[in-house]
Structure 1
Amino acid sequence: MTRVAEVREATAAAGIDALLLTPGPDLRYVTGYDALPLERLTCLVVPARGEAFMVVPRLELPAAEHSPAARLGVEFVPWDETDDAYSLVAGRIGRVATVGLADRMWAMQSLRFRAVMPGSEQVLAGSVLRELRMRKSPAEVAALREAGAAIDAVHAQVPGFLKAGRTEREVGRDIAEAILAAGHASVDFVIVGSGPNGASPHHELSDRVIEAGDPVVVDIGGQMPSGYCSDSTRVYCVGEPPAGFAEYYEVLRRAQDAACAAVRPGASCESVDAAARQMIAEAGFGDHFIHRTGHGIGLETHEEPYIVSGNTEPLEPGFAFSVEPGIYLPGRHGARIEDILICTETAGERLNNRPRDLVIV
């Protein structure tokens, strides 16, 4: 069964009359088409009953016809510059009670659809697609495994980039080049948090000069040609670490191991979070672990499921997510260890396999 057919069945089961998917991860998931997000409407329409079709600007028709979507038997409906593409969609699907809009659809587009379908309730397409996207197929797992190996290859080079006297930005530039050289199609993010900047989980690259004795948090990721993402964090220290750092880093390393060991089918997402959080709290650093333990990953770096307190959803084989506890001491330094895991039939499989011990460079 094609994904279009799977989505049609799931749409009908959810009581939604049609899904409207504009460029973004939802459209790419269903069709493989990585369409350009433009002000001109490209929209896949998947009715609960009837055949799917894709409305495309005529100037984008060649790209659509050369995309994987063309192999799915989806009808392409081109529109010209003077046409109203939104009315075209509304006219083709007729009067419907409920439509599901792509979670990342622009507000401009959702409001235009509301105007041409005033009697239709708008809901998020994610209510249908989340169940499909969370359960990675063997092909998706293979793509994530490839992404994990590629970002591991970059982390293997990081010690050679880190030297006292270099700026975070200089190191980040080298890492970005290495991400592309390792086979990624794009660089999604490069975090190089040296010294006190390591206490900011999403620190941006800066012109701070790395000093001897600085711990450095390196969190990096990109998107592979398959569309699937990598994301991994390791901690390095330029010379001997400052007093107390090695001790709390060891707490973090054991907490990350404990959370990974807690992954198994049927275990709740929040139980994995608790496995790391309890150990960090017992060591006296609970107030310094300031974010969830993990996030799902696939065609997006952050997607469901989220590994966080309050999420009682049980893990299932095929779920892919990060396990990344952190400890952050404001004004001093911080640390985070992150691996991507797949929940298998029996346990969790790490897709990142670089050493997790503190690396002294």
Structure 2
Amino acid sequence: MSTRVGPLDVEALRSRLDRATAAAAVAGVDALLISPGSDLRYLIGAGGASFERLTCLVVPVGGDPVLVVPKLEQPGYAAVPTEALGVEVATWVDGEDPYALVRKALKGTARTAVADMTPALHVLGLRGAVGGEQVLAGPILRELRMRKDAAEVAALRKAGEAIDRVHARVGEWLRAGRTEAEVGADIAAAIVAEGHEAAEFVIVGSGPNGASPHHSLSDRVIEVGDVVVVDIGGPVAEGYNSDSTRTYSIGEPRDADVRETYAVLQAAQQAAVDAARPGVTCEAVDAAAREVIDAAGFGEHFVHRTGHGIGLDVHEEPYIVAGNDLPLEAGMAFSVEPGIYLPGRWGARIEDIVIATGSGSERLNNRPHELVVLEA
């Protein structure tokens, strides 16, 4: 269980709780029911973990928040300044009914919003105890979470710099004769060594495996001439994540079309970054990348959205995808990561985290965007 509060002070956390309460009222719900996870960490500084025993932060519109937590797990929240935040702690022990504590904290409500990733075990338990209508809390909290404040931007910038240092070292491990899994293990260790709390994910997609966007690792032996997609990231101490992709070649690419195709991808990624600024819609940023790739005849080989928001979760709002007409605002952080994937042959992706600023955007990843050719 994470007990880290990070750099946020009590005033910042209190502001988040107040804004969440106000947002709930505007959304027409009587209370938020927040289970362990990134929403809980956003509101009180510690995310905890979900088990069969209920932990739930009750945030009523008309009263003070209450953290319902098993007594045996209460020490895991010792770093949370509950008293200063005005959060009452209600503990329970095995054999007692935790859902009754939630009902008591609500003092009678008709409509509650439950955290999106709450286990079904607890959703149904809460529904039976509380009654009334339940809706998702995600649409309420994402309005707060996708607009990063200065401390959050600083944490994301720190994460971006840390993952850039890892990409700068990939040539130490990525070479012919090694398996993807062997390379991935070295990269995972470096992610921690360069300033992350953990390696959240490591993708090393070599040769034909690079044509699968979410390929992870395998026992495939990397060969001379392979194009290799390396997509890596993880959280720093403050809980905010990095996520960056670069594409490598082991010596000169085996396939004659790699460099020309990669140039298309590089132009598409730059076009999307250039388009990303306040007032431009998420779908317009997606279109900026897609138009370049479509025009070059690779449209069918760009099989995913251009990007996703990032923060306490690797994937969160806003999503840079067709159909999302949300205008970008200063403080929104998201990936820009078009890819071209040629099944059975090779694939490539370029990914940076970008933050919309007052007048444009800032890349948080600054490693070269060209195809990185390593010694064979």
Same fold (TM over 0.5): yes
Amino acid at match of 2:32: L
Distance 1:70 1:207 in 2: 52
Amino acid at match of 1:165: G
Give the match for residue 136 of structure 1.
148
Report the Cα offset of residue 68 of structure 1: 4.6
Structure 2: state its 5+ residue gaps.
1-13
Q: Secondary structure at the match of 2:141?
A: helix
Report the Cα offset of residue 337 of structure 1: 0.1
Distance 1:65 1:175 in 2: 33
Give the match for residue 277 of structure 1.
290
Distance 2:105 2:22 in 1: 20
Is 1:2 the counterpart of 2:5? The answer is no
Give the match for residue 158 of structure 1.
170
Report the Cα offset of residue 46 of structure 1: 0.4
Distance 1:191 1:262 in 2: 27
Taking structure 1 as reference, are residues 224 and 68 closer, same or farther at Cα in structure 2, changes over 3 Å only? farther
Give the match for residue 293 of structure 1.
306
Give 1:147-296 correspondences, 5 Å limit: 147-241=159-253, 242-296=255-309
Report the Cα offset of residue 214 of structure 1: 0.2
Taking structure 1 as reference, are residues 70 and 208 closer, same or farther at Cα in structure 2, changes over 3 Å only? farther
Amino acid at match of 1:93: L
Give the match for residue 328 of structure 1.
341
Distance 2:327 2:81 in 1: 33
- Note the alpha carbon deviations across 1:10-52, whole angstroms, 9 max, x for none: 1111110000001001100111012132211111100011111
- Note the alpha carbon deviations across 1:292-341, whole angstroms, 9 max, x for none: 00000000000010000100110000000000000000000000000000
Q: Secondary structure at the match of 2:259?
A: helix
Give the match for residue 10 of structure 2.
none
- Note the alpha carbon deviations across 1:222-253, whole angstroms, 9 max, x for none: 11111101100000000101210010001000
Distance 1:359 1:94 in 2: 60
Asked whether the 8 Å contact 2:90–2:101 carries over to 1, the reply is no
Give the match for residue 79 of structure 2.
66
Q: Secondary structure at the match of 1:146?
A: helix
Q: Secondary structure at the match of 1:2?
A: helix
Distance 1:220 1:188 in 2: 8
Question: What value does the CA root-mean-square deviation take over the aligned residues?
Answer: 1.0
Q: Secondary structure at the match of 1:144?
A: helix
* TM-score, L = length of structure 2: 0.94
Distance 2:42 2:143 in 1: 12
Asked whether the 8 Å contact 1:2–1:72 carries over to 2, the reply is no
Amino acid at match of 2:216: E
Percentage of identical aligned residues: 61
Q: How many residues align?
A: 360
Give the match for residue 347 of structure 1.
360
* TM-score, L = length of structure 1: 0.98
* Residue 95 (structure 1) aligned to one of 86, 108, 123: 108
Is 1:41 the counterpart of 2:54? The answer is yes
Amino acid at match of 2:159: A
Asked whether the 8 Å contact 2:278–2:328 carries over to 1, the reply is yes
Amino acid at match of 2:24: T
Report the Cα offset of residue 280 of structure 1: 0.4
Taking structure 1 as reference, are residues 214 and 103 closer, same or farther at Cα in structure 2, changes over 3 Å only? same
Distance 1:117 1:54 in 2: 16
Asked whether the 8 Å contact 1:33–1:69 carries over to 2, the reply is no
Distance 1:227 1:257 in 2: 28
Structure 1: state its 5+ residue gaps.
none
- Note the alpha carbon deviations across 1:86-127, whole angstroms, 9 max, x for none: 111112213211000001100110000111123x10001112
Report the Cα offset of residue 73 of structure 1: 2.6
Q: Secondary structure at the match of 1:86?
A: helix
Amino acid at match of 1:288: H
Distance 2:114 2:80 in 1: 22
